[in-house]
Each structure stands twice: as C-alpha cells, then as structure tokens.
C-alpha cells in the first residue's frame, strides 16, 4: 500500500467496506477518487473523508447529513462547518440518550421477566 494513494481494493481493505459501498459513496458524491482509465485511486483527502463518513455512520448520521456537512467546508469554510457539526452532534446526542434509556428499560424488563421465569421453574 502506498501512503499517498490507495487503489480501490486497498481502500476497501483499509476501511473494511465492500466494493459496492465504496462505489455508492462515489455515486452520491461523498468521495471523488482520481481516475486513471478504469482504475480509481484515493488520496489523503478521500481517506480523511472516508474516516469522517464511517465515524458519522457509527454515530447514527444519515449519508445525506454527512454529505451536506462535508459540502459546507468546500462552500463556506471551516467555521460554518464546525457550527453545523455542533448542531448535528447536539441533536444526535439527544436521540442517542433516548435510545439508551429505552434500551436500559428493555434490559431491565427482560431481566425481571427472566427472574420470574426462574422462580416459576423452581416451583415446578
């Protein structure tokens, strides 16, 4: 693997994504690799963008939200991009906290139901 450019195959391997995923990210303009004939090469900019895309997905952002956020930098610069990021992050933190509370409640309910089943089994 070269440090400055990754081939299509190397990019898939480095980020553990399928070729279909990588082509889709290019199709929706999240990535813009260099092309030489039919070959694609990914430089430092695309590698950095891929890291941001995967991190954003892990946090629960949609691909369109990530795409719009990445576009801000090119059109308006770093400050507006960071301001937009803070708004997205604040919104997503609220959503994740809600999901966590719901998950904690489900786990507690399941544990209680399991304990009831164990108690019933002991009676038999």
Q: Are 30 and 51 in contact (CB under 8 A)?
A: no
Distance CA 80, CA 82 (A): 5
Nearest residue to 41 (alpha-carbon basis) of 68, 14, 70: 14
Site of tokens 């990019």: 11
Q: Are 42 and 11 in contact (CB under 8 A)?
A: yes
Three-state DSSP state, 89: helix
What is the pLDDT tens value at each position of the chain, 124 positions in all? 446 899 999 999 999 999 999 999 999 999 999 999 999 999 999 999 999 999 999 999 999 999 999 888 778 888 998 999 999 999 999 999 999 999 999 999 999 999 999 999 999 8
Element housing 37 (H / E): none
8-15 helix and 19-27 helix, angle to the nearest 10 degrees: 110
**Phi, psi angles (nearest 5°) of residue 34:** -75, 145
Which pTM was predicted? 0.79
Bridging pattern class, strands 34-36 and 6-7:
unpaired
């Amino acid at each position: 693997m070269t440090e400055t450019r990754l081939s299509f195959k190397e990019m898939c391997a480095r980020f553990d994504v399928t070729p279909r995923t990588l082509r889709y990210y290019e199709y929706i303009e999240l990535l813009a690799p260099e092309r030489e004939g039919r070959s694609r090469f990914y430089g430092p900019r695309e590698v950095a963008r891929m890291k941001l895309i995967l991190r954003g997905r892990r946090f629960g952002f949609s691909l369109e939200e990530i795409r719009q956020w990445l576009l801000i930098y090119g059109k308006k610069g770093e400050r507006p991009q960071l301001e937009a990021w803070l708004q997205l992050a604040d919104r997503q933190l609220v959503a994740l906290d809600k999901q966590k509370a719901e998950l904690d409640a489900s786990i507690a309910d399941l544990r209680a139901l399991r304990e009831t089943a164990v108690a019933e089994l002991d009676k038999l």
